[in-house]
């Protein structure tokens, strides 16, 4: 079983707040007008990714890990995470504002849900004029003030708003209250977890007329109430080299802005590598084969790949490892 660069079928998710950019801009095979998420590479139970290219087409990520665990993931990754794929990567299109939410840390998520927490990062791919994110509070608050704002319907007055444009990048620690605003399309990299505490949803109703569930009680003890300004990631944009964006305990992300072929030595990485294409097109090649990739597509390269060549005349990537 040669582990050539692997592509996967997108797992498409309809959302109340979703739109059509994943189809119109990224070319995803979508008929719905409310598709909010394309899960590009997922080990979440019930949403396991499936290979779409080459002789392994139709093979699930779970099956690959069972047969080729250390070769695919890297020994250090298997030692740490066992048979669980530790990263979930997505493209997200918010036609409407997402609910205001947060995610618990590892300890709380393990205790309450037998799950990982959810540390994540966002790379803005497209934003309508005035497109914004909510990231944390605009001042230090305490639990009592927060609860009072929910009761009085004034939570939005406590939120910190960030206007965004293409290329802006944000790191969201667990406990940080946040939301993607209307008109924003982004790439998301996160721990493998689908644990979300929704605290405010603009009083919207689903297609059946029901208000969506809020998780007020669970959220109160999971929120970081301190005002912080450490969420925006400043990173170099040097051409044709590897630019470090985020290096945290759960994932490492680099930015590649390529105008020509890049040869990468991966022999000391001991981790799989994910390439999310956020601009242009290229071909990714290792010892066992190659895969074309364009904006809105994702490729997984096995840990045993000693090197890769990225052949392009113009492409941008988020490169993700453990």
Element (H, E) at 2: none
The single residue of 80, 198, 205, 212 carrying the catalytic annotation is 198
Which of 131, 105, 134 shows the shortest CA–CA distance to 120?
105
Backbone angles phi, psi at 114, to 5 degrees: 50, 50
Yes or no: say if 119 and 191 are a contact pair by the CB < 8 Å rule. yes
- Please state, in angstroms and rounded to a whole number, the distance separating the CA atoms of residues 35 and 14: 4
Q: Would residue 112 show up in a list of annotated catalytic residues for this protein?
A: no
Which of 143, 144, 42 shows the shortest CA–CA distance to 89?
42
- Please state, in angstroms and rounded to a whole number, the distance separating the CA atoms of residues 56 and 47: 18
Yes or no: say if 192 and 43 are a contact pair by the CB < 8 Å rule. yes
Q: Which two tokens stand for residue 214?
A: 């809020």
Active site residues: 198
């Amino acid at each position: 079983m040669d582990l050539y660069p692997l592509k996967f079928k997108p797992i498409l998710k309809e959302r109340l707040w979703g739109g059509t950019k994943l189809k119109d801009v990224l070319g995803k095979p979508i008929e719905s007008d409310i598709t909010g998420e394309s899960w590009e590479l997922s080990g979440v139970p019930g949403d396991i990714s499936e290979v779409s290219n080459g002789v392994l087409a139709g093979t699930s990520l779970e099956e690959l890990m069972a047969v080729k665990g250390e070769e695919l993931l890297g020994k250090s990754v298997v030692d740490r995470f066992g048979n669980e794929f530790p990263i979930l990567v997505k493209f997200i299109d918010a036609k409407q504002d997402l609910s205001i939410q947060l995610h618990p840390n590892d300890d709380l998520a393990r205790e309450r849900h037998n799950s990982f927490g959810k540390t994540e990062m966002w790379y803005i791919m497209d934003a309508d004029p005035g497109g914004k994110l909510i990231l944390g509070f605009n001042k230090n608050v305490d639990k009592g003030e927060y609860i009072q704002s929910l009761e009085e319907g004034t939570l939005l007055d406590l939120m910190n708003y960030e206007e965004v444009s293409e290329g802006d990048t944000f790191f969201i620690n667990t406990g940080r209250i946040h939301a993607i605003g209307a008109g924003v399309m982004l790439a998301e990299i996160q721990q493998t977890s689908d644990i979300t505490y929704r605290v405010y949803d603009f009083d919207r109703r689903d297609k059946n007329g029901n208000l969506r569930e809020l998780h007020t009680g669970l959220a109160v003890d999971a929120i970081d109430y301190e005002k912080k300004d450490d969420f925006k990631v400043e990173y170099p944009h040097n051409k044709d080299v590897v630019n470090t964006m985020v290096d945290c305990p759960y994932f490492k992300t680099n930015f590649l802005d390529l105008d020509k072929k890049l040869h990468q030595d991966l022999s000391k990485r001991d981790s799989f590598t994910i390439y999310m294409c956020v601009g242009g097109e290229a071909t990714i090649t290792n010892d066992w084969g190659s895969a074309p990739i364009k904006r809105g597509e994702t490729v997984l390269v096995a840990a045993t790949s000693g090197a890769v060549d990225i052949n392009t005349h113009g492409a941008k990537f988020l490169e993700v490892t453990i």
